[in-house]
């Protein structure tokens, strides 16, 4: 396409691109915008290397040689980018990134920007949904590396889960590169690798005697517990006396894992250390965690150690991504003239022209709606009533009087340089958390969430519909 | 875990790991094994850098300092790896990779190997399913970069789609790095960026006169066609006269895209070039492609250009991944003693011990079943009847007399070096295609496919069940 633009002399045509999405993922009514920092790094470094050009020459042998000179001189110096801050709660149809610059350059940037924003936003949104469901007090850890789309896909997942509201990751490289807290426990394989207490050099008698005392309390026969598992728990406790968390379901949580763990916990207590908890990785997690809690309470009371009641129970399971919806970027303006892609499907219409988006807040600090208007219009004013409209449905309109008005876009790139300093991962995580708090509860709930309103001004509405009437093909009934 | 192993003195314990999966993806009954080359590259380079060690020291401040010396000396020199060739059709429970070596090293390699195999195999399998559905004569192109899990996820997708049976990709970097054929067309944005024939410097009169002739034949009013679209198609034809393929659905396929395209096709024909076809990206693709073919036929007959009947029609749409199932790697043998993870769920049991897998073929060259047996057993012999059993269901057993016997494993890594040369991407793609041909049609069909049999020998069956009876917890009815 870049070559065809060049060939038609459209190298210097100015274009505006909006990067937006059409539908919220996970059957929800919101998304978290993420990936902006990576987009800025990409803009800063955008160039075709000599080896890129040589490769392109091979696969496009019939191209006018002057085009290669043009291409090798391209960078993002003529481009300006405004965007919503990374971490913000965002909604369908609202442009997340607005890019202006020479048509072929903008076109060449498109796929990479979509690639960097799509997956990042999807993962951050998923994480935020988990956080909302789990509540603030629960720890959420990401263990997904082995199922991710390759090594880099795994790194991105760890990063954007953290932004969206997770507390840590088992991906040690993500910890090293991004400073995300690293958490982990042992696996079933660790338990399987031990078979007898003889494999341990240290004192095992204390633990054995505790197991003998515990078993009748928990209604377990002594020979039902697996000795290899007990050995594994003990080894793990020797290695990590201050952070011992044991995986209970290699053999049987109730008949083996729980009594073995509690025996190790009591022995470790005698040495002045406290275990921190257990992990369950299969079976009926709700039932088993209740059974563990019952066991903790029994032993805590029996041995006068109330802290055992507070031990944590970690449940680990597959994170299911229900739906993967994608962002779409569309050309919306060339040389100041608005263009739109028409379609018989009203949902697929792009909002034309260079636009601004304002988020309007009510007195309680909650977001009322996002208002899309043309850049040529005056911004909405605090305390002043304005008419807002559904972009396509004529009958849906309302007056709104905002208590606070926020322009969603910040200029991030222009004059060939970054116009904002990068926010840290921690700051972006905080923005996501704060932004989610401005969203009404019924919009965030899992079942039948209320859609958040994305409206247009009256002027935008008429601009859009005049353009539509001018260009739309008229159907024929036959 | 590595630290806990080290702390318990298990550094030199020898372990065997099997990397396998439990369930075929996409509701099918087969998978394509991919990712092996990347695993071998990883083994060749496996080491902890100084900066890795420094980071680990920070996050694990209480670790015995001698452990860091141990860790910084680790590599894969003590490891041996056997595997099924990359590209083979494979089945649940059959180990794809068999790794032997020191317990902590094997454990440290696990997650990365799973990461490299899981996604690769998933994508290759998806591509193979598309290929089977599409048949051999249809071209399949991968356009997924903008929706992939980050840049590296996108590269992996392009590569493994190609292995699984696709013909090309729109990902130019994948073309450059892996030599995959690059294909692409223009986008809607390209059409939107043009509005009038005045934007073109070359001859437009010829095209306009063809449009006038074509419109009544196609039952379209002249002013229904969009001039910007016509301009875009012409510009694209100027740039790519020998490979012009136009996207028809920006405005209306039937009222605008098709007549505009055919006008350009006829004009280009006068200059001695032939367009190659059209792309449809929305709407009822079956209906629209039929309408396009009708239009091609009408114009071909009217203008005496029979080649127009043969123009290609490209349909582009989201590739949906139905299910993401994951591979699991489990510890199966430590110091020669088989270990297994017991579970009340019979499907979740690991097959213990160091095993070999043979694929048995019938006289017509089709695979009958995969036979898992202990490494200590004699391989099955051609022309000799053997008893094969379902691993868990006592009543399912049969005699089989193989016409050909194939050991699925090849030794790839040992004595700190690669034991096989890397196969090229093209070779792996061929292996996948050949391997799929050995699979019966009813196993490959989409609806209710027949499960392929993965059996064990009688000896393996008894070995497994004796071990199970020895260790399994006995449930209690209450």
Return the percentage of chain A with pLDDT > 70, whole number: 91
Choose among B29, B24, B37: nearest CA to B429.
B37
For residue A343, the chain B residue with the least C-alpha distance is B251
Determine the distance from the C-alpha atom of residue A161 to the mean position of all C-alpha atoms in its chain, rounded to a whole number: 5
CA distance A302 to A315: 26
For the segment A167-192, the average pLDDT, to the nearest whole number, is 89
Q: Residue A79: is its pLDDT beyond 70?
A: yes
| Range of lowest pLDDT (A134-148, A274-288, A403-417, B152-166) | A134-148
The full set of domain ranges for chain A reads 2-131+322-471, 190-315
Buried b / exposed e along B342-377 (16+ C-beta atoms within 10 A): bbeeeeebbbbbbbbbbbbbbeeeebbbbbbbbeee
Query: What is the edge-to-edge ordering of all strands in the sheet holding B337-338?
Result: B337-338, B327-334, B14-21, B97-102, B80-83, B410-414, B417-418
Give which of B6, B116, B193, B247 to mutate to test A binding, by max A Cβ within 10 Å. Answer: B193
Which of the four pLDDT bands, split at 50, 70 and 90, describes residue A478? very low
**Distance separating alpha carbons of residues A250 and A169, to the nearest angstrom:** 23
CATH code for the part of the protein at A2-131+322-471:
3.20.140.10
From A1-5, B115-119, B322-326, B453-457, the region with the lowest mean pLDDT: B322-326
Structure tokens at A368: 């009322």
Q: Which residues contact A315 (CB under 8 A, 6 or more apart)?
A: A279, A280, A281, A285, A289
pLDDT at A95 over 90: no
CB contacts, 8 Å: B345 with chain A: 282
Smallest CA–CA distance, residue B10 to chain A, in Å, is 9
Length of chain A: 478
Reported as a pLDDT band with limits 50, 70 and 90, residue B148 is confident
- Give CA–CA dist B162/B299, Å, rounded: 36
Which residues of A are less than 8 Å from B39 in CB distance? none
Task: Give the span between the Cα atoms of B93 and B371, in whole angstroms.
Answer: 11
Spell out which residues of chain A touch residue B151, defining contact as CB-CB under 8 Å. 112, 115-116, 152
Q: Taking the domain B2-131+325-349+414-447, which CATH number applies? A: 3.20.140.10
Q: Which residues contact A454 (CB under 8 A, 6 or more apart)?
A: A91, A92, A93, A94, A369, A370, A372, A391
pLDDT digits (tens, 9 = 90+) for A440-471: 988 887 777 888 998 999 998 888 878 776 76
Residue A202, strand partner residues: none
B344–A252 CB contact, under 8 Å: yes
B222 vs A328: which has the higher pLDDT: B222
Q: B239, B252, B350: best mutation site toward chain A, by most A Cβ within 10 Å?
A: B239
- In a mutagenesis test of the B interface, which of A155, A193, A243, A342 is the best target, namely the one with the most B β-carbons within 10 Å? A193
Interface ipTM > 0.85: no
Alpha-carbon gap, residue B173 to B176, rounded angstroms? 5
- As given in the structure block, the two tokens for residue B385 are 């009847």
**Nearest to B159, CA basis, from B46, B38, B41:** B38
Residue in the structure block whose two tokens are 């990779």:
B97
Q: Can you tell me which residue has the tokens 């982990």?
A: A184
Judged by CB atoms closer than 8 Å, whether chains meet at A119 and B153 is answered as yes
Write the DSSP assignment of A2-49 as a string of letters.
Answer: HHHHHHTT-TT-EEEEEEEESS-STT-S-EE---HHHHHHHHHH----
């Amino acid at each position: 396409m870049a070559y065809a633009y060049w060939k038609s002399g459209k190298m210097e045509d100015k274009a505006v691109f909006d990067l937006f999405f059409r539908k919220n993922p996970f059957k929800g009514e919101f998304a978290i915008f993420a990936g902006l920092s990576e987009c800025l790094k990409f803009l800063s470094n955008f160039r075709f290397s000599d080896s890129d050009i040589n490769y392109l020459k091979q696969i496009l042998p019939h191209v006018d040689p002057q085009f290669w000179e043009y291409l090798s001189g391209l960078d993002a110096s003529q481009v300006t980018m405004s965007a919503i801050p990374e971490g913000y709660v965002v909604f369908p149809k609202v442009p997340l990134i607005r890019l202006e610059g020479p048509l072929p350059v903008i076109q060449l940037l498109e796929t990479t920007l979509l690639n960097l924003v799509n997956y990042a936003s999807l993962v951050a949104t998923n994480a935020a949904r988990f956080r909302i469901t789990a509540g603030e007090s629960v720890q959420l850890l990401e263990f997904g590396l082995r199922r991710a789309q390759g090594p880099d896909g795994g790194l991105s997942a760890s990063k954007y889960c953290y932004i969206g509201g997770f507390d840590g990751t088992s991906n040690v490289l993500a910890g090293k590169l991004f400073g995300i807290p690293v958490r982990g426990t042992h696996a079933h394989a660790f338990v399987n690798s031990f078979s007898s207490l003889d494999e341990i050099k240290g004192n095992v008698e204390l633990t054995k005697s505790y197991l003998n005392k515990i078993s009748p309390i928990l209604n377990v026969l002594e020979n039902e517990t697996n000795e290899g598992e007990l050995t594994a728990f003990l080894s793990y406790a020797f290695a990590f006396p201050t952070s011992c968390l044991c995986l209970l379901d290699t053999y049987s949580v109730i008949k083996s894992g729980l009594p073995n763990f509690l025996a190790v916990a009591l022995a470790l207590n005698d040495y002045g250390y406290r275990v921190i908890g257990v992990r369950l990785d299969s079976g009926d997690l709700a039932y088993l965690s209740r059974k563990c809690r019952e066991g903790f309470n029994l032993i805590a009371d029996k041995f006068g150690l109330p802290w055992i009641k507070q031990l944590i129970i970690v449940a680990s399971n597959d994170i299911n991504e229900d739906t993967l919806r994608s962002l779409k970027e569309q050309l919306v303006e060339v040389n100041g003239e608005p263009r739109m892609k028409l379609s018989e499907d009203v949902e697929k219409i792009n909002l034309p022209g260079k636009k601004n988006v304002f988020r309007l807040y009510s007195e309680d600090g909650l977001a009322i709606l996002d208002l899309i208007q043309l850049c040529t219009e005056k911004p909405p004013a605090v305390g002043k009533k304005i008419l807002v409209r559904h972009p396509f449905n004529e009958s849906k309109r309302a007056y709104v009087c905002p208590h606070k008005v926020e322009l969603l876009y910040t200029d991030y790139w222009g004059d060939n340089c970054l116009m904002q300093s990068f926010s840290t991962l921690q700051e972006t995580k905080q923005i996501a958390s704060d932004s989610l708090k401005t969203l009404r509860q019924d919009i965030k709930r899992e079942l039948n969430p209320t859609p958040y309103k994305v409206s247009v001004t009256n002027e935008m509405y008429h601009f859009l519909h005049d353009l539509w009437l001018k260009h739309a093909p008229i159907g024929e009934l036959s």
